[in-house]
Each structure stands twice: as structure tokens, then as C-alpha cells.
Amino acid sequence: MSALEDSSDVLVIGGGIIGSAVAYQLARRGMAVTLLDKGPIGYEQSTRNWGWVHQQVRYPHLIPLAVASVKMWEELSADLEADVGFIQGGNLSLGFDDADLVEFEQWRGTARDAGLETTVLTRDQVADTLPGMAWMEGTWTGALHLPTDGQADPDLVTAAFARAAERHGARIVTDCAVTGIDTAGGSVTGVLTERGLIRAPRVVVAAGAWSSRLTRPLGVRFPQRSVRSTVVRTTPVDPITPVTAWADGFTFRQDRAGRFVLAGGEAAIYEVDLDLFRDMHWFLPLAWRNRHWLRIHVGRHLLGDLAARLPGSSARREFWQRRRKIDPPADAKGVRETLGRFHRVFPNLGEVGMESSWAGNIDSTPDQAPIIGPVTGGPTGLLIATGFSGHGFALGPAAGRLAADLVLGDEPVVDPRPFRHARFAERDVPTVGVHRR
């Protein structure tokens, strides 16, 4: 590997949708930006997600960011000069009893206060919107409908942000892990990488699930956990609906090629590692509420973590090299159950095959909201944009803009206070309910 000794105005760690969007926003505003990823661009969460561009979030303070993001999605292909596959087909959350409908009405009020219009559909309206669907033998009572929600193609979006950032002069460096953040006199001075030190007065940590590990040696802590979730994609069928839909743990969208992207029917898997014990008190209330969806797994992940803590071990020396490309296995039982459920929901489609299945690790915070902005109690010049808790694809465009606003001291696109790092130290972390998009 050749050395990369150089300097930039801003270094961005992580080439997922968030880091790529931050780099794009900074580069187009004239900053000299270097974006570093330990592997290829978008290899972790950002190409493994369902592709939903949704605004229904459990943390109400997120709604303005989600609304700002959808406005950006509407223009994104033009802005990035690349097709991102955005379809504004709306989103439906199906309800199965009166309690669900009461909850939908409450959420509708919260959304309206934040400037987001939604409707609650009757059972018949749902049937009209999703023809041919026999969901749970038709036991739904209605649905919350967000007509401005949509979907996009995860295989296209992050790459499009990175290429657009490059066109504006950003340097994109892949297969080059950041091994540490360099500081002097209480300020950030750059990052240590596999290819040497790169200097910069500002560093944005957008390293997805790895972000807290990178900041911890500087005394900058925040709770962050991942759950593994499996996704299934079918072979193409004739177009049925552009709507993305969620009900009782099962979700689908039909992409432009006619393939259904499905999830649910299986538990989300909580991999046990040593950090789990450190952060447990933060996540227990959320885990308890979501206990029906979660399965605890003790295995190679924990062993790898233990080995990496042994002083002098190769597992420790090669920590980042061994994690260059994270490709967790799809849960075989979950795949079978998801496909079975799909066939029960759309009984008239006949035999539809599976094109592919995969899994991804969704990183999250205890309040299911990201951290965006400067760190508290750490070096000046260090910012975080991480912890997107299953919403980072949808929020990516506006989150990148907000992080860039905060790097440059520009007028923020939305109020950044709900996303401040300090909320954990202040214990100002609201309790959120069952995770449901």
C-alpha cells in the first residue's frame, strides 16, 4: 500500500450513505475533503437495506429531518447527475385492531404538528391500494398512509453520492481503514490510517456501527448497538404496487424491475460481544419492548471480540483488516418464513422464486435517533454523524447536509439539538416504543 500523507480541510471516516452525503455536501461548498473507507463504498448497511424512504419514525424530533430529506430525494437524481431509482409511491402501515388505529391517529397528530400530512385509510381503501393482497386472511382494520414516502435503489444511491463528491473535487480512498484519530492540545489534527497519517483540522466520524469504537480512545463515548436483519429479493413479477408496506413485522416493496424486496417473518439477531455489557443499561428498555423480534446469539462475533482484546495478538493487530468487508449470513429459517409469508399475502401470484437473500447489521442508539454534530467532552474539530437506527437510508440526503452545515457553521437545515451528542451525558434520552417503520 502506498502512503497517503497529505492534508485536507475535512476528513470523513466511512463511505456509507452518510459519509458519502457529507463529503458531497462539503465538496460542493468548496472544501478540500478526503473520504476514507476500510472497504468498498457502501458495502455495509447502505447497500443492504430495504430501500425505504420513509418518514414514519418513532422519535418525533426526527420528523423535520425526514421531511427535509424527502424534499431532497425528489431532486436527488438531478442533483447527483445519476439515477437513484427514487419512486414516490407512498407507505402503508397496516393495523389489525382498534388499538392500532388509535395509535395511527396519535401519530398523525404528531406528524401534522411537524408539518407532515398523513391519512388513515379504511379497510376498503387499503384493499383498493393493494389489489390481490390477502394479508393475514384480510384481518386488517385500516392503515396509516404517508403518500410522500417512497423507495430508492440502495445499489445506486451511495455510489452516486460518492461520484458526485468526486466531481466536486473530493478525494475518495477505499480499502484504507482509519486506525485512530490524531489530536494535539485538545484539537483534532488528523487521522491515522493503514496508509499513514492524513492531517486535517476537522474530522467527521460516519463509520456506521464502528463509530463508537473509533471515538472511544479519545474519551468520547455514546451507546451504540447493532442487530442483524435478513432481506429477501424475489424474481420479477408484473407491477402490482409502488407502495412500501409494513404489517405485523412483515414488509415489502416492489422495485422498478418488478422484484419484491421482503423482510420480516424472522427475528432480528442481537450478536453478543463485550460492548453489549458496557451499553446494556441503555438498551435494556428498548430490547424488552422489542423482545418478540429479538434473538440473542452468542458465537463467532464474541470470540473475535475477545481475541482482538488480547495484547500482542494478530487479531488485535489486524482488527480493521479482518473487518474490511462485513457480509453477515442471511438467516435461513427467516428466509423460508419470509417467502412463505409473501406467498400467503399474495396468493394469486403463483410460483415466485427467490433471486437473492442477504443480511446486514443495523446500528442503533437507545432512542433510535442519530447523533449528528460536534462531540462534547472531546477534541474540538471532531464531529459525529452516526447511529441512524434503521432510518439512515431515508435520512441520508438531509443528514449529510445537516452535518456539513455544522462542520462549516452554516445555518442548519433543521434544528440540530435533538441529535446532539450531549443528550446521553445529560440523560435526556426519550424512551421509544416497539420499532416499526
Ligand X SMILES: Cc1cc2nc3c(=O)[nH]c(=O)nc-3n(C[C@H](O)[C@H](O)[C@H](O)COP(=O)(O)OP(=O)(O)OC[C@H]3O[C@@H](n4cnc5c(N)ncnc54)[C@H](O)[C@@H]3O)c2cc1C
Which residues 6+ apart lie within 8 Å of 209 measured at CB?
Answer: 44, 45, 224, 226, 361, 363
Cβ distance to ligand X smaller for residue 194 or 248: 194
Q: CA distances (Å), 385 to each of 39, 98, 143, 286, in order?
A: 19, 38, 33, 22
| Of 185 and 197, CB closest to ligand X | 197
Q: Which amino acid is at 205?
A: V
Please check whether residue 83 is in contact with residue 156, taking contact to mean a CB–CB distance below 8 angstroms. yes
User: Cβ 124 to ligand X, closest distance in Å?
Assistant: 28
Q: Which is nearer to ligand X, 15 or 142 (CB)?
A: 15
Closest CB 360 distance from ligand X, rounded Å: 3
Q: Helix, strand, or coil here: 47? A: helix
The nearer residue to ligand X, 95 or 390, going by C-beta atoms, is 390
CB nearer to ligand X: pick between 101 and 307? 307
Q: What are the DSSP calls for 308-367, one per residue?
A: HTSTT-HHHHTTTGGGSS--PPP-HHHHHHHHHHHHHHSGGG----EEEEEEEEEEE-TT
Q: How far is the CB of 11 from ligand X (least distance, A)?
A: 10
What's the closest the beta carbon of residue 98 comes to ligand X, in angstroms? 28
The residue among 139 and 321 lying less far from ligand X, judged by its C-beta, is: 321
**Alpha-carbon distances of 311 from 85, 308, 314, rounded to whole Å:** 47, 8, 9
374/397 with CB nearer ligand X: 397
Exposure letters 224-236 (e unless 16+ CB within 10 A, then b): bbbbbbbbbbbeb
The nearest distance, CB 252 to ligand X, in angstroms, is 11
DSSP 142: E
CB closer to ligand X out of 17 and 121? 17
Q: How far is the CB of 159 from ligand X (least distance, A)?
A: 12
Q: How far is the CB of 179 from ligand X (least distance, A)?
A: 7
Place of cell 463509530: 211
Q: Which residues bind ligand X (CB under 6 A)?
A: 13-19, 36-39, 43-46, 48-52, 177-178, 206-210, 214, 229, 231, 320, 360-362, 386, 388, 390-394
User: Angle, to 10 degrees, between the axis of helix 300-308 and the axis of helix 274-289?
Assistant: 140
Q: How far is the CB of 230 from ligand X (least distance, A)?
A: 7
Query: Per-residue b/e over 340-363, b at no fewer than 16 CB within 10 Å?
Result: ebbeebbeeeeebebeebbbbbbb
Smaller CB distance to ligand X: residue 190 or 360?
A: 360
Provide the minimum distance between the beta carbon of 80 and ligand X in the complex, in angstroms, as a whole number.
16
Among 269, 429, 307, CA closest to 365: 429
Coil, helix or strand at residue 57: coil
